[in-house]
């Protein structure tokens, strides 16, 4: 280890002076100078190396998990990361499990929950380790083909079963183990299109500001409202039992405005976003609906996902067919103003996510096996392409 510079100089000076006074031959002088020059060179070289290492330090990375379909190259759940510069990196397979098409994490980020989207629907829980997911437990989801799962701070787990047309209730204990199925809320009815001959629960949500749960049914064009009776561990309808959406709209996912009591619903079949507000009786109603496609687009399209920036200023919605992210600004009273479409550079943008720092938007293109990273302009809401990475059948991004 080299000495600190001030002390190093002092010792060299003392050494030089003391030796020069005792020199009997002139030849010692050049030898000492040569030694000193070599030492100074080594010190300067080490300083340069340290400086260069600091400059080229690897950028900080934010990890995220990827849910997939395993009917192709995928084996389960993967871990990726995005750098501060927006570069994507693959960190590898972290859990082998079948069709983990949707993922959720506990608030303390100790446990991850995945659906297994199969005929015999299941839910699986894992412990989150640094480089892997450790299997903990598995329970029935309550219906066929679960496609959405969420967990609240109390460890209550809700699962939307698409083909089953129902919502299952489970509980996660402090060790991350799932209970057996506690309750199933079966939806009933149908609507007007070929895909709506039976109920199809596509997502279910814990309201951030109340005890209300909202399940979204594509098959019946309805939102269904309930609460959890913690004494009986059952799902109980609220005063507003349902909200009927426009016929044929096919509601799929929703998002809550972070600053106001507005809800935005993405309608898969009608390719539109609906704004929900509350009336004087505290009951939600459809206030307005906004198309996600250009007027001249006449090909097949289905919408998939919807998110709002943390500041509540911009809303994003994905189009599959048009293969784009529709970008809106959120105006006064929650109304939407269309800004632009950003191509997703791949086909079938089933799911996307905004990074925790709100600087990036990542899109999972299911049919072209890639993830695209866009840089968000936090002032205008627009997106700029940054990077791309291959991923097998990507369908869910979870930070």
Q: Is 153:171 a contact under the CB 8 Å cutoff?
A: no
The predicted pLDDT at position 19 comes to 53
In this structure, are residues 114 and 149 in contact, taking their beta carbons and an 8 Å threshold?
Answer: yes
Share of the chain above pLDDT 70, in %: 85
Q: What pLDDT, in 10s, does the model give residues 171-197?
A: 999 999 999 999 999 999 999 999 999
Mean pLDDT value across the chain: 90
pLDDT at 59: 60
Q: What is the pLDDT of residue 25?
A: 44
Q: In this predicted structure, what is the pLDDT of residue 45?
A: 46
CA atoms within 13 A on the CB side of 147: 23
Write the CB contacts of 180 (distance below 8 Å, at least 6 apart in sequence): 139, 140, 170
Q: Residue 65: is its pLDDT beyond 60?
A: yes
Q: How many whole angstroms separate alpha carbon 99 and alpha carbon 146? A: 10
Predicted pLDDT at 34: 52
Q: Does residue 381 surpass a pLDDT of 80? A: yes
Instruction: Tell me the H-state helices in the chain.
Output: 5-21, 28-55
Kindly report the pTM of this predicted structure. Answer: 0.85
């Amino acid at each position: 280890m080299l000495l600190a510079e001030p002390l190093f100089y002092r010792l060299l000076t003392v050494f030089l002076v003391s030796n020069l006074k005792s020199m009997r031959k002139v030849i010692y002088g050049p030898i000492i100078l040569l030694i000193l020059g070599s030492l100074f060179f080594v010190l300067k070289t080490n300083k340069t190396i340290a400086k260069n290492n600091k400059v080229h330090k690897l950028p900080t990375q934010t990890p995220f998990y990827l849910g997939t379909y395993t009917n192709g190259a995928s084996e389960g759940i993967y871990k990726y990361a995005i750098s501060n510069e927006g570069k994507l990196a693959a960190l590898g397979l972290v859990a082998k499990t079948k069709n983990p098409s949707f993922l959720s994490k506990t608030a303390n980020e100790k446990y991850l929950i995945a659906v297994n989207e199969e005929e015999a629907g299941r839910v699986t829980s894992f412990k989150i380790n640094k480089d892997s997911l450790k299997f903990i437990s598995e329970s029935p989801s309550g219906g066929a083909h679960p496609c959405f799962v969420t967990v609240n701070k109390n460890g209550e787990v809700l699962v939307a079963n698409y083909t089953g047309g129902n919502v299952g209730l489970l509980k996660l204990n402090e060790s991350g183990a799932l209970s057996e199925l506690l309750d199933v809320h079966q939806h009933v009815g149908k609507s007007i299109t070929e895909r709506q001959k039976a109920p199809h629960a596509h997502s279910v949500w814990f309201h951030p500001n109340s005890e209300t749960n909202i399940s979204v049914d594509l098959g019946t064009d309805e939102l269904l409202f309930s609460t959890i009776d913690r004494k009986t561990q059952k799902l109980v309808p609220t005063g507003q039992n349902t909200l009927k959406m426009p016929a044929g709209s096919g509601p799929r996912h929703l998002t809550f405005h972070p600053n106001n009591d507005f809800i935005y619903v993405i309608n898969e079949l009608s390719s539109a976003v609906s704004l929900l507000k509350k009336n004087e009786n505290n009951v939600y109603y459809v206030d307005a609906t906004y198309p996600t496609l250009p007027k001249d687009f006449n090909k097949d399209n289905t919408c998939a996902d919807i998110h709002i920036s943390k500041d509540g200023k911009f809303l994003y919605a994905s189009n599959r067919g048009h293969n784009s992210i529709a970008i809106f600004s959120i105006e006064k009273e929650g109304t939407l103003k269309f800004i632009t479409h950003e191509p997703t550079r791949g086909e079938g943008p089933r799911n996307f996510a905004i990074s925790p720092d709100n600087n990036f938007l990542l899109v999972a293109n299911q049919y072209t096996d890639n993830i695209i990273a866009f840089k968000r302009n936090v002032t205008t809401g627009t997106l700029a392409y940054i990077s791309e990475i291959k991923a097998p059948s990507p369908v869910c991004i979870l930070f």
